Amino acid sequence: MLQHEDECRQLCSFWIDETLFGVEVSTVQEVVRAMEETPVPLAHPAIRALINLRGQVVTVVELRACLGLPVVKEKAVYVVLRHQGELFGLRVDRMNGVIEVPEAEFESAPEAAGNAQASLVRGAYKLEKGIVLEIEVERIVTAVGVKSAA
Amino acid sequence: MSLRVFTRTHCSRFRRGHDDPPGQEGPRLKLTHPRRRWRIQKTTGVCPVDDMGEILVEFAAEARESLVEVEAGLLELESDPTDLGPIQVIFRAIHTIKGTCGFFGLSELERLTHSGENLLSALRDGQCKFNEDMASTFLDLLDVLQLFIDQIERTQSDKGVDSGDLPERLQKLREDGIAAEAGTATVKAPAPEIEITDDMAELLREAQMLPSVNDGVSEEEPAEAKPVEAKPVEVKAAPTSKPPETKATPAKKTAPKAERARRSPEETSVRVATELLDRLVTLVGELVLARNQIVQRVGQHPDPVLTPASQRLDHIASELQEAVMNTRMQPLKHVFSRFPRLVRDVTRLCGKQAGLVVHGETTELDRTLIEAIRDPLTHILRNCIDHGIEAPEKRTAAGKTPQGTITVDAYHEGGFVNIDIIDDGGGIDVQRLKDKAVSNGQLTQAVSDQMSQREGLDLMFLAGLSTAGEVTNVSGRGVGMDVVRSKIEGIGGTVEVSTTLGKGSKFKLKIPLTLAIIPALIARCRDQRYAVPQANLEELIRYQTTKDADKIEVMAGCRFYRLRGRLLPLLWLESILFPDREPTERDVWHIVVLKAGEHTYGLVVDAVLDAQEIVVKPLGGLLESLNIFAGTMITADGRASLILDPTGIAARGNLSRRSVGVRLLDAEVEEETTDSCALLIFASHTDGRMAVPLDQITRLEELPKDQVEVVGGCSVIQYRDEILPLANVSELLPERRVAPRPLDASIDPAQRDTLHVLVHSHGGRQIGLIVGRILDTVPGSATKQRGRAGREGVLFTFVQNDRITEYLDLQRLVQTASPGFYDAAA
């Protein structure tokens, strides 16, 4: 992916509390409302449940847990991501839509920040008002997939 | 680039027409569309690429299949160089490939196949004899052809593959072979082409050139081929025979050859892309889900029109599912076809001799599973030859034939495909395995001594355990068998091994028939539903705590259910899934008896709901490491649910491969540090309660009474491939002076069909002590207060659970029963 100064990328953005996060839009298959869930015993604490997405069983990851935040009970939204041929869902608070971010406004995350957020976030883009933190989907999978209670 | 090459060559062939240089007789393309020809000539390098690409892919697939036949033919030829039948098959295959190369302008491949074809035709005509060098060279040729085909599939050109000196070697073999033969044989048959008329030759070539029509033409081919085939055979018998004569003679030799030449008529088939098949399977899977929903709903709300319709739908969906599943089934031949070559190569490498016998290669298995078992089977075969079969001298010295035999047997049984690999080699030395494991630090000497034959054999599946003296090129790095087991278990199968020292070994693989749609039992645990594959299901038990209390045994904190003379370990699903919470107390337990490989256990669930056919969906990358789940599914009411994996649950519940007694032993070894060893409390009908140190007991068993035999005045029973001497504890002790409080008539051994036996072992010897009933295990601290012993054989007495219990002198009792028991082994 060429990154020229005047290039723009598109991120699918959503809110966790008052922070705006985003993922590369091409990784997003769809966004669905919260639906009936089946919990998965013994799984990684950030794995919330399984859902039935039109006949496919999709694992839903609780993004708040990945970020080290407490989980809230309110109805949330699932962002269904495609990664290496498989689907998984990301449970977030509210959607914000697809936004364009200019490459010039990118600042990569400081190295070895240590907290859970930093391990997922690859960097931030400055917006007119505020910033959006870009999450790298690969990092979610690494964080959640490897470690489990088996 | 390759496109232009095609164009030029293609055009040049047309232009040249019949002026091909001699020896270059490729198939003649008769274009029926002059306009097409014109278009190609005019094009500056752009060909109808897609069509060409497709045809090339087809060609590659066809060629691959032919190569499998060629390999089989070569190995047949090697074992019997006098039977020239396979040569026809090989020749035809190479000839076809060569011809098609010409069509596509694959000059490199054409050159290679041409030299192969020359040698083959010399062989076919009896101009030279087949020898070892030719066999090896032809096999090398095969390997290079494979490379070519891979390259062609990938890049649509044959550039980039190096034939090396193969063409020259083939040429030389031909020349040397002819020279050698000319020296010995006086009969020289003229090449068949001269005898066949031009028309026949044309027809033959055209027939061979059209790849996909071969099947249809196969009926005519043998008729054409007969005069050609008959030639080499007839030459040996009557040098002056002419083709017209041979056509009339249905010589016994030609018939079987023709059989082989003709493609088997049962294989009327079409080629279908695997993606299409997978799509069919997915769609049928969804259909099954929808069918489940409809049937369930209609079952609850019957309707005069809907009910019969849903029943029809049910029936049709089941049949459709079965048929589609069958499309995924492939005969095991696809895996077994590589074995002869493998055996040949490995035996040569190891300097051994082994023959391979294969049964049941038509047994079918799901396509995806066939790929999964290829490597494990290959490894086991390698192992058999490398470690199992002894060197020829050793075999002869042992009175065996110098050539060993490996038998591969595949058959369907009980919802599984069984593949047995049996060798008549030297067997597996379990003691060596144990010693190696101890020296590797994977096992303590104590545990090793207590292990039975079966457990010792199991050690071979431990990672890093190889008892090979030297690490050979083939195997011996000790990383094989554990991978074999995990791969087979990964697809839901099992691997078992049995052996007899000096006679041979047997590997038994069990693979489930298919994974996609399986019959399952739906169970509930804590308001969630889980599926249990029926393939592992043995039976269902309903247990009531109030009524059936005596069926439960407790040992070292684990509960066992007495199931018809067998102690079944129990695992609570609730405890496994939610280890931090206390399991809910219930009056009624639903026990699902599962068999996972070697372990049979009872899984206690809240309720058993339904039996359904479910579509197995993958667990997903994020959850794959959870070994207690085998996959996911969608229940009839549309919820996502998890499918349990009985093997994973057994592992998680610590039903390790060692038997219960050894596990208890391990648990107690930790307690020993506090210098109080746990005790096993048991009772007899007449003698009251007794105790022995738990660490002296290897195993607790319940053995059928009617299998006890009397040999030389002693009671014995066959136990785990060995003879176990038995002794009744009560009979070993002198009578008590004061009769104890009678316990319970039900524990009188005389009144039961089974015997409770404590197995005690020492230095390789075992003895079984019959007791009335096993009661409990308690920590050694219970013996703090000790009372005086009342009779011989008892060390002291103590009070446990408000009852007086005698602490026995176990060693002394055993010596009474079997005086030489503790002597050093002879």
**At a CB cut-off of 8 Å and minimum separation 6, what does B540 contact?**
B590, B591, B592, B593, B608
Residue B651 forms contact with A (CB below 8 Å): no
CB contact under 8 A, A57 and B628: no
Q: Which residue has the higher pLDDT, B240 or B602?
A: B602
Chain A's closest residue to B649, CA to CA, is: A150
What stretches of B564-624 adopt beta strand conformation (E)?
A: 566-572, 588-596, 599-605, 607-615
Instruction: For residue B640, give the nearest of A38, A41, A43 by CB distance.
Output: A38
Average pLDDT value over all residues in chain B:
74
Residues of B in contact with A37 (CB under 8 A): 640
| Average pLDDT over every residue of B745-769 | 75
Query: Is the per-residue pLDDT at B501 higher than 80?
Result: yes
Query: Is the per-residue pLDDT at B189 higher than 50?
Result: no
Query: Is the per-residue pLDDT at A5 higher than 80?
Result: no
- Which candidate, B486, B424, B820, places its Cα nearest to that of B651? B486
Residue A38 is predicted with a pLDDT of 93
**At a CB cut-off of 8 Å and minimum separation 6, what does B650 contact?**
B571, B594, B596, B597, B599, B601
| Average pLDDT over every residue of B771-781 | 80
Residue B523 is predicted with a pLDDT of 94
Instruction: For residue B642, give the nearest of A36, A40, A148 by CB distance.
Output: A40
Sequence-ordered alpha helix ranges (H) in B681-739: 729-732
Tell me how far apart the alpha carbons of residues B307 and B487 are, in angstroms, rounded to a whole number.
Answer: 45
Instruction: For residue A144, give the nearest of B528, B622, B642 by CB distance.
Output: B622
Residue B237 is predicted with a pLDDT of 33
Tell me how far apart the alpha carbons of residues B108 and B105 are, in angstroms, rounded to a whole number.
Answer: 9
| Average pLDDT over every residue of B428-455 | 79
Tell me how far apart the alpha carbons of residues B271 and B263 are, in angstroms, rounded to a whole number.
Answer: 16
Query: Is the per-residue pLDDT at B225 higher than 50?
Result: no
Three-class DSSP category at B462 = coil
Residue B8 is predicted with a pLDDT of 36
Angle at the Cα of B629 from the Cα atoms of B484 and B556, rounded to 5 degrees: 85
Residue B642 is predicted with a pLDDT of 94
Q: Which residue has the higher pLDDT, B597 or B258?
A: B597
Weakest-pLDDT range from B279-293, B617-631, B667-681, B707-721: B667-681
| Average pLDDT over every residue of B738-757 | 61
How does strand A131-135 pair with strand A19-24? Answer: parallel
Please say whether the beta carbons of B695 and B779 come within 8 A. no
Distances (CA, A) of A26 to A82, A83, B392, B457, B608: 8, 10, 64, 53, 44
CB contact under 8 A, A52 and B624: no
Please say whether the beta carbons of B29 and B17 come within 8 A. no
Query: Is the per-residue pLDDT at B262 higher than 60?
Result: no
Tell me how far apart the alpha carbons of residues B693 and B671 are, in angstroms, rounded to a whole number.
Answer: 12
Residue A39 is predicted with a pLDDT of 93
Residue B660 is predicted with a pLDDT of 46
Query: Is the per-residue pLDDT at A18 higher than 80?
Result: yes
Question: pLDDT band for position B643 (50/70/90)?
Answer: very high
Query: Is the per-residue pLDDT at B800 higher than 90?
Result: no
Percentage of chain B exceeding pLDDT 90: 8
Q: Which among B168-177, B314-323, B714-723 has the top mean pLDDT? A: B314-323
Please tell me the distance in Å from A149's CA to the nearest CA on chain B.
7
Weakest-pLDDT range from B172-176, B208-212, B605-609: B208-212
Proportion of chain B in helix, strand, coil states, percent, rounded to 5:
45, 25, 30
Please say whether the beta carbons of B764 and B430 come within 8 A. no
| DSSP letters spanning B740-772 | PPP--GGG-GGG-SEEEEEEEEETTEEEEEEES
Residue B200 is predicted with a pLDDT of 66
Instruction: For residue A42, give the nearest of B622, B628, B634 by CB distance.
Output: B628
User: pLDDT per residue over B567-580, tens digit each?
Assistant: 788 889 998 998 88
Weakest-pLDDT range from B468-477, B498-507, B661-670, B744-753: B661-670
Query: Is the per-residue pLDDT at A7 higher than 50?
Result: yes
Residue B559 is predicted with a pLDDT of 81
**CB burial readout B408-430, b (16+ within 10 A) else e:** bbbeeeeebbbbbbbbbbbbbeb
Q: In what order do the strands lie in the sheet with B588-596?
A: B537-544, B588-596, B599-605, B566-572, B558-563, B552-555
Q: Which two tokens stand for residue B24?
A: 């270059």
Query: Is the per-residue pLDDT at B453 higher than 80?
Result: no
Weakest-pLDDT range from A107-121, B220-234, B315-329, B567-581: B220-234
| Average pLDDT over every residue of B767-785 | 79
Weakest-pLDDT range from B154-163, B261-270, B380-389: B261-270
Question: pLDDT band for position B469 (50/70/90)?
Answer: low
* Residue among B528, B622, B626, B632 with most chain A CBs within 10 A, to mutate: B622
Residues of B in contact with A51 (CB under 8 A): 640
Residue B702 is predicted with a pLDDT of 84
Tell me how far apart the alpha carbons of residues B94 and B211 are, in angstroms, rounded to a whole number.
Answer: 13
Residue B256 is predicted with a pLDDT of 41
Q: Which residue has the higher pLDDT, B414 or B786?
A: B786
Tell me how far apart the alpha carbons of residues B385 and B777 are, in angstroms, rounded to a whole number.
Answer: 48
CB contact under 8 A, A50 and B640: yes
Q: Which two tokens stand for residue B556?
A: 């070292």
- Which candidate, B399, B427, B422, places its Cα nearest to that of B410? B422
Residue B201 is predicted with a pLDDT of 62
Three-class DSSP category at B469 = coil
Tell me how far apart the alpha carbons of residues B425 and B400 are, in angstroms, rounded to a whole number.
Answer: 9
Weakest-pLDDT range from A58-67, B230-239, B508-517, B802-811: B230-239
Please say whether the beta carbons of B563 and B593 come within 8 A. yes
Tell me how far apart the alpha carbons of residues A8 and A62 are, in angstroms, rounded to a whole number.
Answer: 29
Q: At what angle do helices B49-79 and B85-104 cross, to 10 degrees?
A: 160
Proportion of chain A in helix, strand, coil states, percent, rounded to 5:
15, 50, 35
Please say whether the beta carbons of A33 and A75 come within 8 A. yes
* Residue among B282, B283, B623, B649 with most chain A CBs within 10 A, to mutate: B623
Weakest-pLDDT range from A23-37, A81-95, B69-83, B246-260: B246-260
Percentage of chain B exceeding pLDDT 70: 74
Distances (CA, A) of B381 to B334, B387, B420, B475, B633: 16, 10, 11, 11, 37
Residue A142 forms contact with B (CB below 8 Å): no
Which ipTM value was assigned to this complex? 0.89
Weakest-pLDDT range from B347-351, B411-415, B468-472, B724-728: B468-472
Residue B43 is predicted with a pLDDT of 35
User: pLDDT per residue over B623-640, tens digit each?
Assistant: 888 889 988 888 877 788
Residue A146 is predicted with a pLDDT of 56
Q: What is the largest CA-CA distance in chain A?
A: 48
Question: pLDDT band for position B238 (50/70/90)?
Answer: very low
Cβ-based neighbour number of residue B724 at 10 Å: 20
User: pLDDT per residue over A66-113, tens digit each?
Assistant: 888 899 888 899 999 998 878 899 999 999 999 999 888 888 877 655
User: pLDDT per residue over B77-123, tens digit each?
Assistant: 887 777 778 888 888 888 888 888 877 778 888 888 888 888 888 88
Residues 696-735 of B with CB under 8 A from A: none
A vs B: CB pairs below 8 A: 75
Residue B740 is predicted with a pLDDT of 53
pTM: 0.49
Query: Is the per-residue pLDDT at B14 higher than 80?
Result: no
Residue with tokens 């390759």: B2
- Which candidate, B225, B254, B257, places its Cα nearest to that of B237? B254
Sequence-ordered alpha helix ranges (H) in B80-165: 85-104, 107-124, 132-155
Residue B659 is predicted with a pLDDT of 43
Residue A48 forms contact with B (CB below 8 Å): no
- Which candidate, B586, B559, B585, places its Cα nearest to that of B570? B559
Q: Which two tokens stand for residue A146?
A: 């490897």
Positive or negative CA dihedral for B770, B772, B773, B777?
negative
| Average pLDDT over every residue of B33-54 | 45
Question: pLDDT band for position B253 (50/70/90)?
Answer: very low
Residue B656 is predicted with a pLDDT of 53
Residue B449 is predicted with a pLDDT of 79
Residue B644 forms contact with A (CB below 8 Å): no
| Average pLDDT over every residue of B135-143 | 86
Weakest-pLDDT range from B230-244, B263-277, B412-426: B230-244
What stretches of B164-252 adopt beta strand conformation (E)?
A: none
Q: Which residue has the higher pLDDT, B67 or B676?
A: B67
Question: pLDDT band for position B6 (50/70/90)?
Answer: very low
Query: Is the per-residue pLDDT at B36 higher than 70?
Result: no
